[in-house]
Structure 1
Amino acid sequence: MNVDFISALEEIEKEKGISKSIIIDALESALISSYKKNFGSSQNVVVEIDNNTGDVKVFAIKSVVDNDELEDELLQMPIESAKKIDPKLNVGDSIKLEVTPKNFGRIAAQTAKQVVIQRIKDAERDVIFEDFISRENEIITGQVQRISKNNVYIDLGKIEGILPPAEQIPGEIYNQGDRLKLLISEVKKTTKGPQIILSRASANLVKRLFEIEVPEIVEGIVEIYSIAREAGSRTKIAVFSKSVDVDALGACVGFKGTRVKAIVDELNGEKIDIVIWSKNVDEFIANSLSPSKVIRVFSNEKEKSALVIVPDHQLSLAIGKEGQNARLAAKLTGWKIDIKSESQYNNINGDGVNEP
């Protein structure tokens, strides 16, 4: 190695942001391993690289011991021999002896190349990791690259993301070349570099899609209170407006339904119920059961449970297929919801929907 090598490290420092001293420290450690592998592993050695010239030297470190206490010549030197090198040395001191092999320059050059390449890779991985870790829970657009063992690998430009089965929309078909909007669900640091876990099933994906389509949400005029989702089937989203001049429902639906349609299209036809959040719990619970109409809500604040009475002909609509509408409403509100038809309630409590 020579001055040109040091100049190259300085260029790498400027272009890649990798400190020259970090590479040299890593190279010195790698060269110690190379020396021990090729010239004997029993010695205690250090490698020193001149930061200006690039010269590489190997030194053996030995402990100075009494002449009659010498046990290992590779690790120790008797005081008599040590004094001939440096008269100031005493028993217990350490002595540094150059042991650089003649052909060590070739080994150093090969090792240097490997270390520099690895350090550049590590630095690039760190940059990618820092970029993506700051974007967790954001939407990214990617292209399906390949599918393996039910995992869908997405080309994100600088790196490949993974869409695992648990984060896929049930029934959604992925083909190579498809472009998708995905949520950056989690960013992990692994020995092989950053791992980007993506999601199409997360409720946060729907939230971010609404933020993209509805300017009033980004501006803070309309806020999303909660979201309940069964990916691929149905989502309920509760919103409210902070301005009397802005209709939260209208803002989210858009002119002739254009805004919500864009989201539904992105989710391949998933049904989306937009409901209005209200401070009045009974009103919010009634809204959450949309599209069903509600006659009355009896809520129990202490138990966070509610009895909801609906018209007879809307009982199945309120409950939903396999209980989905009621289940999502409960998740959206955070309340346990029991639904009864008007007839069922009257049979139990007498005529008329009166508070029990």
Structure 2
Amino acid sequence: MSNELLTILEYIEQERGLNRELLVKAVEGALLSASRKSIHPASKLRVEVDPNTGAIHAWATLEVVESNPTNDQLVIERAREKLPDVKVGDIVEWEVTPRNFGRIAAQTAKQAIMQQLRKAEKEIVRDEFADRVGQIINGIVRRFENGNIIIDFQKAEGILSSREKIAGEQYMPGDRINALLLKVDILSAGPSLIVSRTHPDFVLRLFEREVTEIHDGVVQIKAIAREAGSRTKIAVVSTDSHVDPVGACVGLRGIRVRNITSELNGERIDIIPYDEDIRKFAANALQPAKVQSVEAFPDKRELIVYVTAEQSKLAFGKKAQNVRLSSKLLGWNISIQTAGEKPTESLEDKIRRASKALAKELDIREETAYTLVCNGYVSVEGVKTAGRAQILEIPDIDAAEIEAAFDRLDQ
């Protein structure tokens, strides 16, 4: 076993880059756990592995007694065979290595050793990547498992689930890929790094990397709203009156934003000037639509935006995406009204009416429909177009009810 163990230690040290001392401690713990019953009945045992030879020895902590020893005791006559000066009552470490310990260890400890080594590797991964959560990391696509992409980040593997992958993206083994590190998971089996390309912060980090003024703090990102793979709105402001925040993000001849769009597989990016005045901010957010006026109701965090009939289509956008993203960007509910048209009912009443109709069509509770409407999904067609995955990302949505609704729609 010593030669075999030494070979394993040398291989793992060289190929996986783990410290020999760390490996030896992991092996000692694994052998003790796997072979405790076959070593000695004492309660305090220690297994020692010679890191240079691979030789294995086991030791028990025993009390020296006159006679009639228990599991944790050793008679004085036997103790004096090796320790001539020992006395009754002394505590000694006594070697209890079984004659066939090498064979026992070979049969029972290999799996435990590998488990300990995987744990040691994951702890190294945690130490290496814990400070990089929320940052972009770069790796190489290795393989595909159940629709998920397994990525090699040199010192660890990561997993990009199908929900965290931008729709329409295609990768091949060997391709380089950038992703946002969401979490370092060392407790579960499989890849330790959980990454995403759909998270809004992925776009934010791309801007920080591409736009020097953002990295230096001259331009600040105040808010971001994203529908991954389709469109993102980002609100920016400058701390220097001489720096145009939108121009800085766009870059000379649009090179900066074009680089980011390319990384996002063609996702459209709207860069919007932030304004402390929520009405001006709303008008900016709804571009390219030209807004005539905005009424604000701060107590309800609601806005009524007036546009001409010609601009109404632009304000809503395709499948209501423009107004939906604008609402997310501001954190306020937005109602679009044609100029000159006075609302006959309050915004809340309209939302409730739309929720009731949507609940009936989808056969869901009005509370769930209300959440959908507040997030811009006011029709069955809009819900179907968004898709199951995107709807399930809505905060506080009833996942089980949505799953059941989509199952019915798919029939």
TM-score where L is the length of structure 1: 0.76
Q: What corresponds to 1:235 in structure 2?
A: 232
Please state whether the residue corresponding to 2:223 is helix, strand or coil.
strand
Higher relative contact order (CA 8 A, sep 6+): 1
Pair 1:169-2:166 in alignment: yes
Pair 1:290-2:262 in alignment: no
Contact 1:305 1:337 in 2 (8 A): yes
Q: Identical aligned pairs, as a percentage?
A: 41
| CA separation of 1:162 and 1:28: change in aligned 2, threshold 3 A | closer
Counting only pairs closer than 5 Å after superposition, residues 181-196 of structure 1 correspond to structure 2 as 181-190=178-187, 192=189, 195-196=192-193
Match of 1:209, as an amino acid? L
| CA separation of 1:42 and 1:321: change in aligned 2, threshold 3 A | same
Q: 2:303 aligns with which of 303, 306, 316?
A: 306
Match of 2:46, as an amino acid? V
Q: What corresponds to 1:155 in structure 2?
A: 152
Contact 2:30 2:113 in 1 (8 A): no
Counting only pairs closer than 5 Å after superposition, residues 329-344 of structure 1 correspond to structure 2 as 329-344=326-341
Q: What corresponds to 2:267 in structure 1?
A: 270
Q: Deviations over 1:315-353 (max 9, x none)?
A: 1110122221111111101111111011424999xxxxx
| CA separation of 1:105 and 1:134: change in aligned 2, threshold 3 A | same
Pair 1:205-2:199 in alignment: no
| Counterpart Cα distance in 1 of 2:284 and 2:51 | 74
Q: What corresponds to 2:46 in structure 1?
A: 47
| CA separation of 1:289 and 1:103: change in aligned 2, threshold 3 A | same
Q: Deviations over 1:47-81 (max 9, x none)?
A: 364999988654455567897xx6x8545678999
| Counterpart Cα distance in 2 of 1:32 and 1:179 | 43
Contact 2:142 2:150 in 1 (8 A): yes
Q: What corresponds to 1:257 in structure 2?
A: 254
| Counterpart Cα distance in 2 of 1:161 and 1:36 | 36
Contact 2:294 2:303 in 1 (8 A): yes
Please state whether the residue corresponding to 1:278 is helix, strand or coil.
coil
Structure with higher Rg: it is 1
Deviation at 1:118, TM superposition (A): 7.0
| Counterpart Cα distance in 1 of 2:173 and 2:57 | 53
| Counterpart Cα distance in 1 of 2:319 and 2:281 | 22
Q: 2:220 aligns with which of 219, 223, 228?
A: 223
Contact 1:135 1:184 in 2 (8 A): yes
Match of 2:318, as an amino acid? K
Task: Point out where structure 2 has 5 or more consecutive residues left out of the alignment.
Answer: 346-411
Which deviates the most, 288-297 or 143-152? 143-152
Number of aligned positions between the proteins: 333
Deviation at 1:179, TM superposition (A): 2.9
Q: What corresponds to 2:88 in structure 1?
A: 89
TM-score where L is the length of structure 2: 0.67
Contact 1:23 1:116 in 2 (8 A): no
| Counterpart Cα distance in 1 of 2:116 and 2:108 | 12
